[in-house]
Structure 1
Amino acid sequence: MKSNAIRLDKNERLLSLDALRGFDMFWITGGSMLAIFIGEETGFDWLAQQMHHVKWAGLRMYDLIFPLFMFIAGVAIPYALISKLEKSIPQKVLLGKVTKRMLILVVLGILYNGALSGDLTNIRYASVLGQIGLAYFFASVIVIYTKSFRSRLYWLVGMLIGYAFIQLFVPVPGVGAGVLTPEGCINGYIDRMLLPGRLHGGVFDPEGLLCIVSATGITLMGSVAGHFLRGQNRTPWQKISLLSIIGIALLVVGLLLHPVYPIIKSAWTTSFNLAAGGISFLLMALFYMIIDVLKWQKWSFYFRVIGMNSIFVYLFVHFIDVSQLTGFLFGWAPEILGDFGQLIWIVGWLAIVWSILYYMYRKQIFLRV
């Protein structure tokens, strides 16, 4: 298997993309435990709090993991698809590839939710992996079948505005329009009416049907960043400046909208998309500047190893009881050393997961969907 790192030219690859993807996945594969421990032990409660989702409205660091991953998937689209279109590869061939990827991720997501556990009447069909697959599919179809970058921008703006209009002005029977609560939002109404099986939130699903539309928007945002990074008509520093300006503008608009149109991850409001997309642009600019422009790369190797097998590690920590193996090797530490031993246990967890990924990296084994 080959690496999925993005190649800039014959001698250089966009290492920052793998590093940022790995940085993103780090937090859900053990990094959040480390941050919570440090926050609680140092009295820096804000850090520990940031490692938990908000209950509904608002924004914390942990809420950014999912949209950042989708943004990163979008960054890869110009490299993976537009480059092939430029080589005259037929559109239907590319459509077949992204369709296959979407179907695999949807199935993996259903399996991730426990479809084989025996309770066939209570399957949750919506999933994180399914939403990634579907949003990437729709964003890719837009890229494949639009002739210009400007047309893709029209699609993006139309999605963001249209989604906001639906949430704010389309009435929910018995509730009304613009009621952005778990019970009252139109996302939940559509999920209860059309989505079979179990809903994650009871009355709504954060990866539900309408959320897929919004998630496609942030994936398209990533494709915009990828378009600028891949372009040859700007210097690297001009690219960094452009990504940073876009990121700041989107973040500011999202925050300004929050009082009247709340930032809600579970409903994927447009204000959430703008804020999360803005932060994603800024992080992409930062990682690109440090790793690919300034060439400060050694520190990023830890994250690149994670990022090059992101889907695998997401599945691995879910299906494999890493805590049992960690307890077998480091269970003595908390008993003997107390809080410091707990730190050793957490670091041991991270080391076990990373060692497996490093072995796969050395053997050039990469799970590509």
Structure 2
Amino acid sequence: MAQPVTSKRLYSLDALRGFDMFWIMGAEEIFHALAKATGSPFWGGIAEELSHPAWNGFHFYDLIFPLFLFMAGVATPFSVGRELEKGKSRNELVLRVIKRGLILVLLGVIYNNGLHLRPFSDIRFGSVLGRIGIAYMFANIIYLFTKQRAQIIWFISILIGYWLLLKFNSAPGYPRGDLSMEGNFASYIDRHLIPGRLYLGIHDPEGLVSAIPAISTGLLGIMAGNFLKLNDASGPKKSLYLIISGVISILLAHIWNLDFPINKNLWSSSFVLNVGGYSLCLLGIFYYIIDVLGYKKWAFFFKVIGMNSILIYMSGAFINWTYTTNGFFQWVGQLIGDPYNAVVMAVCYVLVKWAFLYFMYKKNIFLRV
């Protein structure tokens, strides 16, 4: 019989977070190497899905970043919500949320620029962790001071407001509603507000204005977390409702795409619905298999990653994982030889990182923000 979800930590959430991080800790390179080694259209198609479109459009790889933010939202009712239930004041929790958000922004700046001095104009302030920190922070503040119905209103209002902002404005010299990299209003504002350098000179995919719709990604995760924690439906029904909601969200995204293209760089409203839909479907599937049916052993590999996701992400700024992998396994690649040595070394690269995370897991060492 399915067990009701309490405020306990969801095993499926850690596993899904690990599945998400698996792709950006090196797994995508396995398939890029396979595509190059085989010349196969099949592997080539998968490799293409593990890269970002130049501007408009959607590939699987575009899901990785927002899925992580979505899961941070899912965890909120089980973490922040639990603290509320224990009697912590909202003001106290707001300070904690703001602190965590700002730490993530700082870690993002460190990840981009390292810990050495450089001219202010060369510093990139926009970052993946910064986007997560800002969106997480505002989504959690909304969660703390509103009820579920108001959270839905915030979610919808942000998406519609962002759509109208870009639809009726543009950079000077461009037609109203221009959504090109040069002409869109979000990038234009970023060029004037963000200090230092933008990732692409005239545009930063982790810019300030496009962080606004990312709040809705966090809110969608919070709504999903509320549903899992508070709804009285059975486990199988919860999984089904999540998947159905995800499919509806994807359909709405593709309808909105006709006027407001699915675009990760702009974090467009249609993009929020699209990645939110896939995130809901994945959460429903992982929750059903792991927490409802109880099949957990297969997911341990991902759980080890998911419980130290920030650590393995930040490690790339301080550890030369390629050097480490070559030190242990270069002989394996030499034995294999061309063209599959690159595939084998990509697999070894992931396994070395996982071994590090497993060691930390066994020692009960986790980087918490």
- Which residue identity is paired with 1:341? N
- Which residue identity is paired with 2:346? I
26, 29, 52: which one aligns with 1:30: 26
**Where in structure 2 are the equivalents of 1:201-212 lying within 5 Å?**
201-212=200-211
Normalising to structure 2: TM-score of the pair? 0.94
How many percent identity over aligned positions? 42
2:301 is aligned to: 302
Tell me the CA shift for residue 27 of structure 1.
Answer: 0.4
1:4 is aligned to: none
- CA deviation string 1:106-159 (max 9, x = no partner): 11111111153332221111111111111100000000111x210111111111
Normalising to structure 1: TM-score of the pair? 0.94
- CA deviation string 1:344-365 (max 9, x = no partner): 3122111110011001111111
The 2-side partners of 1:327 and 1:295 are apart by 38
The 2-side partners of 1:367 and 1:335 are apart by 36
Worse overlay, 265-274 or 162-171:
162-171
1:16 aligns with 2:15: no
1:223 is aligned to: 222
2:187 is aligned to: 188
Tell me the CA shift for residue 201 of structure 1.
Answer: 1.7
SS in 1 for 2:176: coil
Q: Are 1:330 and 1:344, in contact at CA under 8 Å, matched by a contact in 2?
A: no
Cα distance change on mapping 1:314 and 1:142 into 2, 3 Å: same
2:116 is aligned to: 117
The 1-side partners of 2:305 and 2:236 are apart by 27
**Where in structure 2 are the equivalents of 1:248-263 lying within 5 Å?**
248-263=247-262
1:275 is aligned to: 274
The 1-side partners of 2:233 and 2:83 are apart by 22
Q: Are 2:248 and 2:277, in contact at CA under 8 Å, matched by a contact in 1?
A: yes
- Which residue identity is paired with 2:124? R
How many pairs were matched up?
361
Q: Are 1:26 and 1:303, in contact at CA under 8 Å, matched by a contact in 2?
A: yes
Cα distance change on mapping 1:168 and 1:298 into 2, 3 Å: same
SS in 2 for 1:209: coil
- Which residue identity is paired with 2:208? L
**Where in structure 2 are the equivalents of 1:131-150 lying within 5 Å?**
131-146=131-146, 148-150=147-149
1:73 aligns with 2:69: no
Worse overlay, 83-92 or 291-300:
83-92
**Where in structure 2 are the equivalents of 1:296-335 lying within 5 Å?**
296-335=295-334
Cα distance change on mapping 1:115 and 1:346 into 2, 3 Å: closer
**Where in structure 2 are the equivalents of 1:75-90 lying within 5 Å?**
75-90=74-89
1:343 is aligned to: 343
C-alpha RMSD of the superposition: 1.6
Q: Are 1:309 and 1:357, in contact at CA under 8 Å, matched by a contact in 2?
A: yes
Cα distance change on mapping 1:170 and 1:342 into 2, 3 Å: closer
SS in 2 for 1:296: coil
- Which residue identity is paired with 1:351? L
Tell me the CA shift for residue 99 of structure 1.
Answer: 1.1
- CA deviation string 1:223-278 (max 9, x = no partner): 11101111141111121121111100110111122232111100100011110100
1:353 aligns with 2:359: no
- Which residue identity is paired with 1:221? L
The 2-side partners of 1:192 and 1:232 are apart by 44
Tell me the CA shift for residue 81 of structure 1.
Answer: 1.7
Q: Are 2:114 and 2:317, in contact at CA under 8 Å, matched by a contact in 1?
A: no
SS in 2 for 1:76: helix
Unaligned runs of 5+ residues in structure 2 are: none
Worse overlay, 316-325 or 153-162:
316-325
- Which residue identity is paired with 1:342? A
Q: Are 1:23 and 1:303, in contact at CA under 8 Å, matched by a contact in 2?
A: yes
The 1-side partners of 2:285 and 2:142 are apart by 28
